[in-house]
Amino acid sequence: MGRAAWTLTERRPTRQIHVGGVAVGGGAPVTVQSMTTTKTADAEATLAQIYALAAAGADLVRCTCNEEAAAEGLARIVPRSPVPIIADIHFHHEMALAALEAGVQGLRLNPGNLRKEAEIKQVAAEAKDRGVPIRIGVNAGSLHPDLYKRFGGATPEALVESARMELAYFSEVGFDDVKISVKASSVPLMIDSYRLASETFDHPLHLGVTEAGPPPAGLLKGTAGIATLLAEGIGDTIRYSLTADPVEEARAGRQLLEALGLRERKGLDLIACPSCGRAEIDVIAVAKAAQEALENRNLPIQVAVMGCVVNGPGEAREADIGIAAGRKRGHLFIKGKIVRVVPEDEMVDALVSEAERLVAEGVEARLAAADSGAEAEAEADRRELLDAQGTDANASETKVALIRKRFGEQPPAGS
């Protein structure tokens, strides 16, 4: 498929850091993060969740380190994890030091909760010695009281100043292997804060709307903030903060980056028409069935489910593969070209089977394997439906003429 006619704003240049083997910033692909919800002390349960997150698209995973047992859990988790592990630290610098001993590849410190200068510098010095980056994780909900008072609330200026102060502590020990976040639960505040941070720092930025809540509202808030900034070229790594299974966070993050063209497609992208007067099937039901059948197969393709054969294949011609319904049959198409006509009750099965072959063999091979006569058969269905429905499926102009006739108005000349 050719390059789209539009592009996002060019990404803001930043320094590059490495969290384990994953590059962040400096032109590296935007990465997806999530956080485990298990007790870190339970290494087996936490590892199971980390593997699920990695399978859903997470490049990095954060685990809480809030007690000695959690640090011990990290020591068992890190060597077996499929992705780099970041330890989440809030109130006790000893936990950061213990996490470093456990071998984590990154730390997250909240300046609003870990406030003693000497302790902050100690952690930074130890991280420097081990080559471990730190995220300065500013949060509007836990801003230092002095900054809250000084700026009259959790303003963008207050959040950015919190990060700047932490950076100043780090610089005193020669540590600058840093990424920054300035999160808020308010989407407008989050957007303004990151815009200011992007003007203030050249460190990579970690984007997120904190405490977004459960889906679907949480997904909408997260997307509103994260996508707005990514479209402006701001952001190097992202996390959806949902009150849900964290796998949903990772999946949403990956899908967002794929939708914006910031990451190569790794999984399914299913598109479907919203249905209209032409629909010959229950589009919602068929799309749901196709989604359920395909989403766990990890096929990196775009699949279309269209409700009619009149316009469906043409409207979805850019999809890798799709199905359109008409006259109790399904027209299976690849890149807009009809390759097979199947009974309606076999539509989803045929779509799944062809999708798997398409990924395995490639577009040209599957087009060459198209059923002879499929296009002619499909065109006959299309013409029959056009004759039955007319070019205006909802007969709107006919209805308008009848309304005008009722009120004694003459139809326009030439109609």
At residue 78, the 3 state secondary structure works out as helix
**Measured distance CA(254)–CA(58) in Å, rounded:** 7
Please compute the mean of the pLDDT values over residues 150-164 and round it to a whole number: 96
pLDDT in tens, 347-380: 899 999 999 999 999 999 999 999 998 888 888 8
The pairing of beta strand 237-238 with beta strand 31-35: parallel
Higher-confidence position of 412 and 152? 152
Structure-block tokens of residue 397: 């102009």
Q: Which residues of 373-389 are buried (b: 16+ CB within 10 A; e: fewer)?
A: ebbebbeebbeebeeeb
Structure-block tokens of residue 274: 């919203």
- Per-residue confidence band for 285, with pLDDT thresholds at 50, 70 and 90: confident
Please compute the mean of the pLDDT values over residues 205-220 and round it to a whole number: 95
Structure-block tokens of residue 367: 């087009």
Of the listed ranges 181-185, 321-325, 367-371, the one predicted with least confidence: 321-325
Residue pair 249/50 in contact by the 8 Å Cβ criterion:
no
Q: How remote is the C-alpha of 202 from its chain's centroid?
A: 24
Q: Is the pLDDT of residue 314 over 80?
A: no
- pLDDT attached to residue 307: 76
Please give the mean pLDDT across all residues of the chain: 89
- Per-residue confidence band for 393, with pLDDT thresholds at 50, 70 and 90: very low
Residue pair 82/55 in contact by the 8 Å Cβ criterion:
no
Q: How remote is the C-alpha of 230 from its chain's centroid?
A: 11
- Which of these, 321, 340, 337, 339, lies nearest to 329 by C-alpha position? 340
Percent of the chain surpassing pLDDT 70: 90
DSSP string, 141-164: GG--HHHHHHHTSS-HHHHHHHHH
- pLDDT attached to residue 66: 94
Residue pair 351/290 in contact by the 8 Å Cβ criterion:
yes
pLDDT in tens, 62-114: 999 999 999 999 999 999 999 999 999 988 999 999 999 999 999 999 998 88
- pLDDT attached to residue 60: 98
- pLDDT attached to residue 59: 98
**Measured distance CA(81)–CA(62) in Å, rounded:** 11
Q: Is the pLDDT of residue 346 over 70?
A: yes
Higher-confidence position of 409 and 119? 119
- pLDDT attached to residue 6: 62
pLDDT in tens, 86-95: 999 988 999 9
Burial class (CB in 10 A: 0-12, 13-18, 19+), 336: middle
- pLDDT attached to residue 297: 85
- pLDDT attached to residue 13: 95
How much of the chain is in helix, strand and coil states, percent to nearest 5?
45, 20, 35
Higher-confidence position of 138 and 280? 138
At residue 312, the 3 state secondary structure works out as helix
Residue 276 CB contacts under 8 Å (≥ 6 apart), including other chains: 307, 308, 393, 394
- pLDDT attached to residue 409: 65
- Per-residue confidence band for 3, with pLDDT thresholds at 50, 70 and 90: very low
**Measured distance CA(213)–CA(185) in Å, rounded:** 9
Q: Is the pTM of this model over 0.85?
A: no
- Which of these, 162, 160, 230, 171, lies nearest to 197 by C-alpha position? 160
- pLDDT attached to residue 328: 78
Residue 354 CB contacts under 8 Å (≥ 6 apart), including other chains: 321, 332, 334, 339, 340, 366
**Measured distance CA(302)–CA(321) in Å, rounded:** 7
- pLDDT attached to residue 407: 82
The pairing of beta strand 16-19 with beta strand 22-25: antiparallel
Residue pair 41/72 in contact by the 8 Å Cβ criterion:
yes
CA–CA distances in Å: residue 305 to residues 76, 78, 274, 342:
45, 42, 10, 14
Q: Is the pLDDT of residue 296 over 90?
A: no
Q: Is the pLDDT of residue 395 over 70?
A: no
pLDDT in tens, 252-275: 999 999 999 999 887 788 888 775
- pLDDT attached to residue 198: 98
State the Cα angle at 146 between 141 and 151, rounded to 5°: 75
Q: Is the pLDDT of residue 7 over 80?
A: no
Please compute the mean of the pLDDT values over residues 171-197 and round it to a whole number: 97
At residue 402, the 3 state secondary structure works out as helix
DSSP 16: E
Specify the length of the chain in residues.
Answer: 415
Higher-confidence position of 173 and 345? 173
**Cα-based torsion angle of the residue sequence 33, 39, 44, 45 in order, rounded to the nearest 10 degrees:** -70
Of the listed ranges 60-74, 297-311, 339-353, 377-391, the one predicted with least confidence: 377-391
Please compute the mean of the pLDDT values over residues 393-406 and round it to a whole number: 68
Domains and CATH numbers, the chain: 16-259 (3.20.20.20), 269-389 (3.30.413.10)
**Measured distance CA(266)–CA(293) in Å, rounded:** 17
Q: Is the pLDDT of residue 225 over 50?
A: yes
Structure-block tokens of residue 127: 């991280």
- Which of these, 381, 235, 358, lies nearest to 312 by C-alpha position? 381
